[in-house]
Amino acid sequence: MNTTTKIYIAGHRGMVGSAIWRALVAKGYTNLIGRTSAELDLRSQQAVTEFFDIGNPEVVIDAAARVGGILANNEYPYQFLMENMQIQNNLIDASLKADVEKFIFLGSSCIYPKLAPQPLKEEYLLTAPLEPTNEWYAIAKITGVKACEAIRKQFGKDYISLMPTNLYGPFDNFDLRTSHVLPAMIRKFHEAKHQSTVDGRPSTVTLWGSGTPMREFLFVEELADAVVFALENQFQDNLYNVGTGVDLTIRELAELIQKTVGHTGEIIWDSSKPDGTPRKLMDVSKMTDAGWKAKVGLEEGIKRTYEWFLENQETFKQVKI
């Protein structure tokens, strides 16, 4: 691996892909390839094959996927299963046929069973049923993990899978209808901060559930750093969790974001709304043993994300993840 290695980043315009691109540029890599979905339909095997024939990438990073929340997964199960399988299978198969030596597949912690012990270890994969609300996406990602594992086993190539915990950061999705919990909170507290009640008191913010579930969050630029580390090093295994190994309650998260944004109103917890899984924490000991550990704390990461939000308020609704 050197700074002139030709690296193709699939999904380079998304939150994760763009962070990886910036991280590689910062380290001096000069031969990066990216294609928008309009330029290259990753669901088309023919299109992907032709791109590899012409582009000849030496390394491939798969940060492309069809993503969405619970509602989207429930309404479009076939698309979430099939399109994600098409995207990753085309990329993995084309990479194998083009003799790409290094392939990094990015997945999600949702690949692990719904009721797996905490923290989640890589060995828990396929040991029990998945969470029903996102099993279609999870099954697709599991097939990607297994495809990379099969290539390592049969062909001896350096194909690895990184499973990040909940991500947030610049270029996140702040649409309240489709965003995840952390960016949604940033927007809610920000908008409430600039509103007031009739009598001039700060506006309240209503959040779902009791606030007691525990979640782990990773700044997206940390994932990008982990990807660069994986590029520049040989890993002994095929599957690694990427996270902080530290979680907090949703209530604590809300209070931290409220403090960062500067909102002074009351937080109302709507207990009629679901809490979701009580806890979801990744075991990151394998990644730590490999030599990588997260450095950006949650408070700093939220501060940097909110700064990006403030600088991009006019355009963030149009950002496609």
Find tokens 């097939």 and name the residue: 143
Q: Any known ligand binding at 177?
A: no
Q: Any known ligand binding at 1?
A: no
Q: Any known ligand binding at 279?
A: no
The number of CA neighbours under 13 Å toward the Cβ of 265 is 20
Q: Any known ligand binding at 241?
A: no
Tokens linked to 143: 């097939």
Q: Any known ligand binding at 108?
A: yes
Find tokens 């582009």 and name the residue: 55
Q: Any known ligand binding at 28?
A: no
The yes-or-no answer on residue 306 being catalytic is no
Query: Distance (Å, rounded) from C-alpha 260 to C-alpha 65?
Result: 31
Q: Any known ligand binding at 200?
A: no
Q: Any known ligand binding at 281?
A: no
Q: Any known ligand binding at 246?
A: no
DSSP 203: P
Decide: helix, strand or coil at residue 9.
strand
List the catalytic residue out of 8, 29, 112, 137. Answer: 137
Contact 108, 137 (CB under 8 A): yes
Contact 108, 166 (CB under 8 A): no
Q: Any known ligand binding at 173?
A: no
Q: Any known ligand binding at 14?
A: yes
Query: Distance (Å, rounded) from C-alpha 10 to C-alpha 319?
Result: 17
Helix (H) or strand (E) holding 185: helix 181-193
Helix (H) or strand (E) holding 284: none
Query: Distance (Å, rounded) from C-alpha 314 to C-alpha 295?
Result: 30
72, burial (CB in 10 Å: exposed 0-12, middle 13-18, buried 19+): middle
Q: Any known ligand binding at 107?
A: yes
Q: Any known ligand binding at 277?
A: no
Q: Any known ligand binding at 167?
A: yes
Q: State phi, psi for 159 to the nearest 5 degrees.
A: -110, 120
Binding residues for NADP(+): 11-17, 106-109, 141, 164-167, 180
Query: Which sequence positions are flagged as catalytic?
Result: 137
Binding residues for substrate: 188, 208, 215, 275
Binding residues: 11-17, 106-109, 141, 164-167, 180, 188, 208, 215, 275
